């Protein structure tokens, strides 16, 4: 396979994608966007700022989805606009008071059709799909779970402090 014919999006096995997304509490999505944008920069457009596009992924996702969808090898049957809107809403759900913050962690679900199409592109070009779960992946998943537990504990402690200093008047 020549360099010019290589597929730029990053191939990742779906099981690895789901596990990393869930157990890093959604942070894997930023990593996923970074590597996809970086590969596109290396393969097609040196002007792309992968880090910025990954950081602002709720606002730039449509660009990536559009580019993957446009590649005939992707055989994409999903709508780039619809997935981008859903990704934006789910990514920003943490801003809404209440249990809707969970949608932010689950925003990776909107990336799954895109990753499936990316994997199809790579399968056609004979490039291997990354299905290995490495020690670094396991460490990231453990770190994500620990971070979520720490944030949960901090929230519980803050609730107790607020109840102590501002007891309800009811």
Q: What is the pLDDT of residue 6?
A: 59
Question: Higher-confidence residue: 133 or 43?
Answer: 133
pLDDT band at 1 (very low <50, low <70, confident <90, very high): very low
For 41-50, what is the mean pLDDT?
A: 88
Say if residue 168's pLDDT is above 80: no
Q: Residues 119-155: pLDDT tens digits?
A: 998 888 788 889 999 999 999 999 999 998 998 899 8
CB-CB contact of 32 with 16 (8 Å)? no
Q: What residues does 130 pair with on adjacent strands?
A: 12
H, E, C per residue of 90-135: HHCHHHCCCHHHHHHHHHHHHHHHHHHHHHHHHHHHCCCCECCCCH
Mean pLDDT of 104-118: 95
| Exposure letters 22-41 (e unless 16+ CB within 10 A, then b) | bbbbbbbbbebbbebbbbbb
Span 16-30, average pLDDT? 92
**Among 17-21, 92-96, 124-128, the least confident range:** 124-128
pLDDT of residue 47 exceeding 70, the answer is yes
Judged against a pLDDT cut of 80, whether residue 35 lies above it is answered with: yes
Residue 117 backbone zone (phi > 0: left; psi -120 to 50: alpha; other: beta): alpha
Between these two residues, 161 and 170, which has the higher pLDDT value? 161
What is the reported pLDDT for 170?
45
What is the token pair recorded at 147? 């971070």
- The pTM for the full model equals 0.82
The pLDDT value given to residue 4: 42
CA distance linking residue 125 with residue 132, whole number of Å: 20
Residue 2 has pLDDT above 50, yes or no: no
């Amino acid at each position: 396979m020549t360099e010019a014919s290589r597929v730029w999006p990053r191939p990742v096995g779906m099981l690895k994608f789901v596990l990393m997304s869930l157990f890093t509490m959604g942070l894997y999505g930023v990593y996923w966007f970074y590597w996809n944008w970086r590969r596109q920069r290396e393969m097609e457009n040196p002007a792309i700022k992968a880090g910025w596009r990954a950081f602002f992924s709720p606002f730039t996702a449509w660009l990536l989805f559009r580019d993957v969808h446009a590649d005939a090898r992707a055989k994409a049957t999903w709508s780039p606009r619809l997935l981008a809107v859903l990704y934006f809403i789910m990514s920003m759900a943490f801003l809404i008071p209440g249990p809707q913050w969970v949608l932010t962690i689950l925003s990776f679900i909107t990336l799954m059709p895109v990753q499936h199409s990316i994997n199809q592109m790579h399968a056609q070009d004979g490039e291997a799909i990354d299905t290995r779960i490495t020690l670094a992946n396991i460490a990231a998943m453990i770190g994500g779970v620990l971070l979520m537990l720490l944030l949960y504990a901090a929230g519980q402690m803050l609730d107790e402090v607020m109840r102590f200093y501002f007891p309800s008047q009811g």
